[in-house]
Amino acid sequence: MADALLTVENLTKSFGDKMLFDNISFGINAGQKTALIARNGYGKSTLLNILTGKTLQDSGKVTFRGDVRMAYLPQQPELLPHQTVRSFVYSAQRPEHEDEWTFEQRIEEILSRLKLDDKLDQQMQLLSGGEQKKVALSRILIDDTNLLLLDEPTNHLDIQMIEWLEEFLSRQKLAILMVTHDRYFLDHVCQDIYEIDNSRLYHYRGNYDYYLRKKAEREYNERVEVEKAKSLYRTELDWMRRMPQARGTKAQARIDAFYELEEKAHTRFDDTRPQLTVKTERIGGKILEMYNVTKSYDGVKMVDDFSYVFKKGEKIGIVGPNGIGKSTFLNLLTEQLRPDSGRVIVGQTIQFGFYTQGGMTARPDMRVIDIVKEVAERIELDNGKDMSAHQFLSYFGFDDMTQYNYFENLSGGERRRLYLLKVLMANPNFLILDEPTNDLDIYTLEILEQFLKDYKGCLVIVSHDRCFMDHIVDHIFVFEGEGKIRDYHSNYTDYLAARNAQRRSESLQKREEKPKYERTRTDKPRATYKQQKEYEALTTEIDALNQEKQQLESLLSSGAETDVDKLTTASHRIGEIIAALDEKELRWLELDEVVNG
């Protein structure tokens, strides 16, 4: 691993009786972009903290190449309370290859994209947790680094910010090791996946769908090996029981092999969870109706003249930038806010379940299991059976130890998961979820997805997780600003493709509609023959690159290709295309001003 910026050898870490990882080894090469995935509590953040020196390993070695310039984004950054955003961000180190003007332009782009340019003079202590996370992210993107460690970088970002961050990281010649639950983000940025499972580390070269297939194959093979071990174990156990007292060298070797076999035969697997659907209360003919609803704050319209009649069983996603009115809309639905004008009519049979970003409160000395039992000791299922509170917690990843832990000892992520379960198990027939995916690992996210797919009531979800939305919702409400809400009858990915196509079409149309005298003004420099030819060539090249990018993305997402080398090559090529498009489109815009200005 001569090109490795980071080398980890035989690393082991445990907390008490819980082994997180045992004797794991891996490396991160220059320019390699890798995702780290595991269930909550399996050691992802601990591993990152060991790499940064914040936590000590039990054994093993971590080595950085001499020229490494590393930056780390934790889930909850620790920032100086009285420091201003400006002083923190502008203390970043400028790369040697960048001049002052280029460095300043990059800072302005990053701050603008993360919507921090109007908060430069605020102190950290006055920012929300999400804003602090964005400040910390902006600093490491600006700094002179060649290795980034990122722990859930998309938390607290809206979809537009996430899309920008995808492109930004893809075109950077950086090595990245990141923890993320956002599967689209993972696919678009990373070419490798490391998984921590049962204290071991597994490496997959490919996208998330490829990882799922190979993981299933690995687990199947492991189960076959364990079944063989169990069969042989019975034979060897019988031999051990009737073994003569005299133990020669061969007998001792067989005894040693028996204990290794015994350990393998007793391997336990997390079996696939069964399909689960809770019983919902019957919904009457009238569900929820909104007529000409308008709501403003300080003269800014959050919702403007919106009307909609909700139907049985529909699943609606809500998308739009932060601060555009999504939470206001949810509060209008549940009648926690009254509209300035218009009417909201809620059917008599409707029972809301409302998961808010504010989280839950509970007595700090209450145990998790008791908090859940306050809602219900048993949860009725749609198939006529029921499930105990203990079983319901286990289904969503709360092990026995955590179930009997006190609320005050839970992490922020565990508290949000517990809050989500309380909302789900109350059997609402109109479920509203405001950013439910934050702090969930990929495994819990997939369980929640399946649960919501099978949910029989009405469902409204606000989420910045595009993959999650695409898998669940029937259509989306797009918040376009100034209170305008558009009902788009497809998923977010289709909406995004249509939006981008429309923007390009509008740009071309405006150029065609521009009066002739404006296009031939003499007070602007005329395009030279060379510039005209370069402009035409760039137009063709950009179209070709976009077409190749779409073909490669279809290849990676279809699951039809299984060759590891081809998938890896395709992933790398997409990164190259994104970088090339960014450079060519910037030049195209410059020339467009001259050619068509």
Report how far Cα 76 is from the mean position of its chain's Cα atoms. Answer: 16
Nearest to 147 by CA among 65, 55, 61: 65
In terms of pLDDT, which residue wins out, 525 or 409?
Answer: 409
Residue 271 has a pLDDT of: 54
Per-residue confidence at 530, pLDDT binned at 50, 70, 90?
Answer: confident
Least confident of 261-270, 294-303, 370-379, 536-545: 261-270
Q: Quick: pLDDT tens for 30-88.
A: 999 999 999 877 899 899 999 999 999 999 999 999 999 999 999 889 899 999 999 99
Query: How many CB atoms lie under 10 A from the CB of residue 567?
Result: 20
Which token pair is 378? 């048993």
- Residue 475 CA to residue 309 CA, distance in Å, equals 14
Mean pLDDT calculated for residue range 121-141: 92
Of 3.20.20.70, 3.30.460.90, 3.40.50.300, 3.40.50.2300, which CATH number belongs to 288-494?
3.40.50.300
What pLDDT is recorded for position 275? Answer: 58
* Cα separation, 494 vs 129, whole angstroms: 32
**pLDDT tens digits for range 164-178:** 999 899 888 899 999
Q: Which residues pair with 201 in a beta bridge?
A: 196
For Cα atoms 162, 168, 172, give the angle at the middle one, nearest 5 degrees: 145
pLDDT for 522: 46
Mean pLDDT, rounded, of the chain: 85
More confidently predicted of 29 and 492: 29
Structure tokens at 418: 């517990």
What amino acid is encoded at 516 in this protein?
K
Res 525 pLDDT > 60: no
**pLDDT (average), residues 527-545:** 82
**Can you tell me the distance from the alpha carbon of 287 to that of 284, in angstroms, rounded to the nearest whole number?**
7
- Please give, one letter per residue, the 3-state secondary structure of 487-540: EECCCHHHHHHHHHHHHHHHHHHHHHHCCHHHHCCCCCCCCCHHHHHHHHHHHH
Query: What average pLDDT does the segment 229-256 reach?
Result: 69
> Rounded to an integer, what distance in angstroms lies between the CA atom of residue 9 and that of residue 12?
9
Regarding pTM above 0.85, the answer is no
- Dmax over CA atoms of the chain, in Å, equals 107
Contact partners, residue 444, CB within 8 Å, separation at least 6: 39, 40, 396, 397, 417
What local confidence, expressed as pLDDT, does residue 26 receive? Answer: 96
Looking at residue 269, its pLDDT comes to 62
DSSP annotation of 3: T
4-211 falls under which CATH superfamily? P-loop containing nucleotide triphosphate hydrolases (3.40.50.300)
- Which DSSP symbol is given to 235? H
Q: How far apart are CA 441 and CA 409, in angstroms?
A: 19
What percent of the chain has a predicted confidence (pLDDT) above 90?
42
Confidence of residue 3 (pLDDT cuts 50, 70, 90): confident
CB 428 within 8 A of CB 352: yes
Model confidence over 148-165: pLDDT tens digits? 999 999 988 888 899 899
Residue 420 token pair: 């989500």
Q: Binning pLDDT at 50, 70 and 90, where does residue 257 land?
A: confident
CATH topology identical between 4-211 and 288-494: yes
Q: So where are the chain's domains?
A: 4-211, 212-265, 288-494, 514-596
Top-ranked range on mean pLDDT: pick from 102-111, 193-202, 550-559, 560-569: 193-202
